[in-house]
């Protein structure tokens, strides 16, 4: 089995996972908006704000952590882009690979530590203070996001050309 074949397989697998995470992330954004609207309308018209809305928002925000995996996959993380455009393509590719390896390392450490934390939270049945919602699964979702980011960075480090086609680039700030 050639390396190229393997990277394409990993690429396809990750692509499907990121698509799923994107839909969940989009859903989380919609849910956050909805929770706020229910809270505001309830308070304004019925004098009954949504009980535990802050908790719901904060947990949904952690699930929205999937956005990090999406940003890594679409190469939207901010870079300085000052030096590299002036360098030869080969040097640019080497720098990109070094950056991706560093990203792989940091994402792997975060994914592992957050995963262990989520496991611990599940083990001790940690719940939110007002609504008693288990908090472990949300933190677990965040570790998945970093795990996907970590695999994406590794893929970008070993085979930058495979991941070129998916880049949408650019942030909106």
Partner 1 sequence: MNPELVGAAGIGVMLVLMFLDVPVWISMASVGFVGFGIIHGFHNALNLVELLPDATIGDYMISTLVLFLLMGEFADISGLMEDAYRAANIWLGNLPGGLAMASIVGAGAFSAISGSSMACAALMGRVALPQLLNHKYDEKLATGALCAGGTLGNLIPPGVLIIFYCIMTSTSIGSLFAACIIPGIVLTLMYCIQIYIQCKRNPVLGPRAGGTTWRQKLLSMKYGAALTIVFGLVMGGIWFGTFTPSEAAAVGTVFVLIYAVIRRSVKRQNLVRAFTNTLGTTGMCFAILIGVKFFNSFIVVSGLNEALATWVTGLNVAPIIVVIVIMIVYSVLGTAMDTLSMLFLTVPIFTTMLLALKVDLIWFGVLVIIQMEFANITPPVGINLFIIGGMAKPKGIGMETVFSGVVPFCLTMLVFNAFMLAFPQIAMWLPNLLKR
How is residue 82 annotated by DSSP?
S
DSSP string for 96-146: HHHHHHHHHHHHHHHHHHHHHHHHHHHHTT-B-TTT--BSHHHHHHHHHHH
Nearer to partner 1 (CB atom), residue 142 or residue 151: 142
Torsion angle, alpha carbons of 80, 82, 87, 91, to 10: -20
The least distance separating partner 1 from the CB of residue 93, rounded to whole angstroms, comes to 11
Nearer to partner 1 (CB atom), residue 129 or residue 170: 170
How is residue 83 annotated by DSSP?
S
Q: Given the rule CB under 8 A, which residues bind partner 1?
A: 22, 25-26, 29-30, 32-33, 36-37, 39-40, 54, 57-59, 61-62, 64-72, 74, 76-84, 92, 95-96, 98-99, 102-103, 105-106, 109-110, 113-114, 116-117, 138-139, 142, 146, 168, 170-173
Nearer to partner 1 (CB atom), residue 75 or residue 159: 75
The least distance separating partner 1 from the CB of residue 13, rounded to whole angstroms, comes to 20
Nearer to partner 1 (CB atom), residue 57 or residue 127: 57
The least distance separating partner 1 from the CB of residue 91, rounded to whole angstroms, comes to 10
8 A C-beta contact, residue 38 and residue 23? no
Q: Please give the structure tokens belonging to residue 156.
A: 């970008």
The least distance separating partner 1 from the CB of residue 127, rounded to whole angstroms, comes to 15
8 A C-beta contact, residue 87 and residue 95? yes
The least distance separating partner 1 from the CB of residue 115, rounded to whole angstroms, comes to 10
């Amino acid at each position: 089995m050639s390396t190229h074949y393997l990277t394409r397989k990993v690429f396809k697998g990750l692509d499907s996972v990121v698509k799923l995470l994107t839909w969940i992330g989009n859903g989380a954004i919609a849910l956050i908006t909805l929770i706020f609207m229910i809270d505001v309308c309830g308070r304004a018209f019925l004098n009954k704000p949504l009980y535990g809305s802050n908790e719901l928002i904060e947990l949904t925000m952690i699930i929205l952590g999937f956005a990090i995996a999406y940003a890594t996959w679409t190469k939207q993380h901010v870079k300085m882009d000052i030096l590299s455009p002036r360098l030869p393509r080969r040097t640019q590719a080497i720098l990109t690979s070094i950056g991706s390896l560093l990203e792989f390392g940091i994402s792997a450490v975060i994914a592992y530590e957050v995963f262990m934390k989520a496991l611990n939270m599940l083990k001790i049945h940690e719940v939110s203070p007002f609504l008693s919602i288990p908090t472990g699964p949300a933190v677990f979702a965040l570790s998945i996001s970093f795990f996907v980011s970590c695999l994406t960075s590794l893929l970008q480090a070993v085979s930058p050309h495979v991941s070129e086609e998916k880049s949408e680039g650019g942030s909106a700030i």
